[in-house]
Structure 1
Amino acid sequence: MTFTSDTFTYKAYTYTSSTSGVRLDDITIKLEKQRDGTYNVPADKILVKIHAAALNPVDVKLYNLSIWPLNYLLGKRGLGEDYSGKIVAIGDKAQLSTAFKEGDLVSGFSTSFVPNGTFAEYILVDPSKNADGQLTHAPKNLSLTDASSWPEVYGTVRIMTVGVDLKDKKFLVLGGGSSIGRSLIQYLRLEGAKEIYATASPRSAAVVKELGAKGTIDYTKGSILNPALELVSNGEPFDIIYDCVGSNDLFPKIEYLFPKTGGRYATIVGDAGFLKLSISSLLSTLTSVKRSLLSSYNYLPYTYKLHLGITGLDWIEGGRQLIEEGKLKPFIDSYYKFSEFDKAFDHLKTGKVSGKIILKVEED
C-alpha cells in the first residue's frame, strides 16, 4: 500500500458513552517517513485491511459499562475484538521479527482495551506476543469472512483450560449452546474428557450432543440445580464445571456436585451474564469476586476461578491448526453488512444468538 502523507484516515464505529450511541467516525493514525522519502506504518506495526469482524457479548457489556466517570476517563472508544483481513502494510522491524508479509490473509484478536476496535475498515496491529492481541494466517479451510469468527472464542477456551488436567474428567458446561460453550465442548473432547454434560435449549441440544456432550439439561425449564444433582446421583461427581453464560443456580448445593475433596468451578462471566447494566448484575459480579478471593485463600472446599480477559498466553497458532485439521468447528449465527452495524448490535443484545454474528466490512 502506498502512502502519500504522514497520516492515514479510515472509518470505524466508536462511542463515548452508553447514552450517546455508536457512530461511524474518522480514525487517523500517524505514519513514519522512510529514508527514501515515502511513508509507512511504524516499524514495529502491521496494518490490516479488515474484511470481516465478529461481535461478542463482551462488546455489549463494555458499551453498557461506559457510564460516568468511566466514559470520562476512557474517552472515545471502539468496539470489537475478532477480525480477519489482508495485510496491506508492514513496518521494517515487524517484517523481520514475524513470518508475515504484505498481502497475507490473516485472522486476529485485539483486546478490548485497544481504543479503535475491529468494527472498522483497518486496524494497526502490534504483532509482539500479548501486546495489542494476536495474529495468525487465516485458516485455509475457512472463507475470509468466516475466518473472523473464532479467535476470541478459542482464546477464551484456552484461558479457561490452561494448566488444568482435562483427561478422564467429568464436566458440566453451562451454556453449551453458546459460541464458547460449543468450542469448549469440542476442545474437552479432544483432550480426552470422560463425560461431558451441558445446559442447552431444545433448539441447540442436538448440536451440543453432536459436538461431544453425553447429555443436556434444558435450562429453559427453570433452575438447573436438580437436574445437575440427578447427574451425580450415581456417585460420580463432576470434576470441573465451566460456566460460559453466567449462573448462580448451583451454589446452594454445589458441595453435592463435586468430590468431597477438590472440584473446580471456572466462569468467564461470574454469577450473571448480564447484557444490561443493573444493580443486581453489579451485586452478582461482586459476589463472584468475593468467591474468587475466598478460593485463593483456600476458604472454599473447591477451586473457583473467575477469568476476565484473554492475556498472558500465546494461543492463536494452536487454534488455527485445530481449525485447519478439522478438529474445531466455528459456528455462524448471521451476517450483516458494515452499514448494518446497528442491526447486528441489536441482534447481539437480545442474547438469543446461536454462533457468531459477523460484520462484513467488505463484501465477498
Structure 2
Amino acid sequence: MNFKSDKFTYKAYTYTSSTSGVKLGDISIKLEKQSDGSYNVPADKVLIKVHAAALNLFDVKLYNLAVWPIHYFTGKRGLGEDYSGKIVAIGSKVKSAGKFKVGDLVQGFFVGFVPNGTFSEYILVDTSVKTEGEFTHVVKNLSLTDACSWPEVYGTVNRITAGLDLKDKKILVLGGGSSIGRYLIQYLKLEGAREIYATASSRSAALAKELGAKGTIDYTKGSILNPVLELVHKSEPFDIILDCVGGNELFPKITDILPKSGGHYNTVVGDSTATKLSISKIRLHLGSVRRAKSSDNNKLPYSYKFLLGHFEPGWIERGKQLIEEGKLKPFIDRYYKFSELEKGLAYLEAGKVSGKIILKVEED
C-alpha cells in the first residue's frame, strides 16, 4: 500500500458513552517516514484491511459500561475483537521476522479499542502487545468472511480450561447453547471428558447432545439448582463446572455439587448475567472477585476462578489446527452489512442468538 503522507484516514465505529450511540466516523493513524522518503507503519506494527468482524456479547457489555463518570476517563473507544482480513502494510521488524507479508489473509483477536476496534475498515495491530498481536494465517476450510467467527470463542475455551485435567472428568457446562458453550462441549469431548452435562434451552438441547453432552438441563424452566443436585444424587459430584453465561444459583449447595475436597468452578462471566450496569450487578461482580480471592487464599473447599485477561500462549495456532482438522465446528447465525451494525448489536442483546453474528465490512 502506497502512502502519500504521515497520516492515514479510514472509517470506524466508535462511541464515547452508552447514551451517545455508536457512530461511524473518521479515524487517523500516524505513519513513519522511511529512509527513502516513503511512509509506512511503525516497525512492530501491521495494518490490516478488515474484511469481516464477529460480534460478541462482551461488545454490548463494554458499551453499556460507558456511563458517567467511567466514560469521562475512557474517552472515545471502538468495539469489536474478532476479525478477518488482508495485510496491506507491514513494519520493518515484522517483515524481517518472515512469518507475514503484505497480501497475506489472516484472522485474529484484537483488543485495541483505541482509536478503534474491529468494527472498522482497518486496524493497526501492534505485534509487541500481546492482546493485539494474536493473529495467524486464515484457516483453509472457511471463507475469509467466516474465518472471523472463531478466535474469541475458541480463545475463551482455551482460557476457561487452562490448567485443568479434563480427561475422565464429569463436567457441567453452564451455557451449553451459547457460542462459547458449543465450542467448549466439542473441546471437552476431544480432551477425553468422561461425562459432559450442559444447561441449554429446549431449542439447543439436541445440538448440545450431538456435540458431546450426555444430558442437558433446560434453564428456561426455572432454577437449575435442583436438576443439578438430582444429577449428583443419581451418581456422583461434578469434578468441574465451567460457566460461560454467569449466575450464582449453584453456590448455596456448591459443596454438595463438587467433591468434598478438590473440584473446580471456572467462570469467564462471574455472578451477573446482565448486559447493563446497575448497583446490584456491580455487587454481584464484586462477589465473584471476593470468592476468587478466597479461593486463592485456600479459604474455600474447591477452586474458584473468575478468568479475565489474556489467553494461553499458542492458543490461536492450536485453534486453527483443530478447525482445519474438522475437530471443532464453527456456528454462524447471521450476517449484517457494515452499515447495519446497530441492528446486529440489537439482535445480539435480544438473547436469541444461535451462533456467531458477523459484520461484513467488505462485501464478498
**Which runs of 5 or more residues in structure 1 are unaligned?**
none
CA distance in 2, matches of 1:279, 1:98: 50
2:203 match: secondary structure: coil
CA distance in 1, matches of 2:151, 2:161: 15
Shift of 1:282: 1.2
Counterparts of residues 177-216 of structure 1 (less than 5 Å): 177-216=177-216
CA contact (8 A) 2:179 2:356 kept: yes
Which portions of structure 1, spanning 4 or more consecutive aligned residues, are displaced by more than 6 angstroms?
none
Shift of 1:114: 4.5
In structure 2, what is the equivalent of residue 286 of structure 1? 286
Counterparts in 2 of 1:129 and 1:112: CA distance versus 1, 3 Å: closer
Counterparts in 2 of 1:355 and 1:30: CA distance versus 1, 3 Å: same
CA contact (8 A) 1:129 1:314 kept: no
CA contact (8 A) 1:130 1:311 kept: no
Q: Does 1:136 align with 2:136?
A: yes
Q: Does 1:85 align with 2:85?
A: yes
CA distance in 1, matches of 2:82, 2:275: 19
CA contact (8 A) 1:201 1:218 kept: yes
Shift of 1:111: 1.7
Amino acid at match of 1:185: I
Counterparts in 2 of 1:156 and 1:278: CA distance versus 1, 3 Å: same
In structure 2, what is the equivalent of residue 320 of structure 1? 320
CA distance in 2, matches of 1:67, 1:313: 34
1:203 match: secondary structure: helix
Shift of 1:8: 0.5
In structure 2, what is the equivalent of residue 158 of structure 1? 158
CA distance in 2, matches of 1:8, 1:275: 35
Q: Does 1:119 align with 2:119?
A: yes
In structure 2, what is the equivalent of residue 54 of structure 1? 54
Moved more, 233-242 or 55-64: 233-242
Shift of 1:192: 0.7
CA contact (8 A) 1:50 1:361 kept: yes
TM-score, normalization: structure 2? 0.97
**Which runs of 5 or more residues in structure 2 are unaligned?**
none
Counterparts of residues 1-364 of structure 1 (less than 5 Å): 1-111=1-111, 114-128=114-128, 130-311=130-311, 313-364=313-364
Kindly, what percent of the aligned residue pairs are identical? 71
Shift of 1:234: 2.8
Counterparts in 2 of 1:98 and 1:232: CA distance versus 1, 3 Å: farther
Counterparts in 2 of 1:114 and 1:171: CA distance versus 1, 3 Å: farther
Counterparts in 2 of 1:196 and 1:185: CA distance versus 1, 3 Å: same
CA contact (8 A) 2:27 2:115 kept: no
Counterparts in 2 of 1:212 and 1:129: CA distance versus 1, 3 Å: farther
TM-score, normalization: structure 1? 0.97
| Alignment root-mean-square deviation, CA | 1.2
Shift of 1:115: 3.7
CA distance in 1, matches of 2:243, 2:146: 25
Shift of 1:13: 0.2
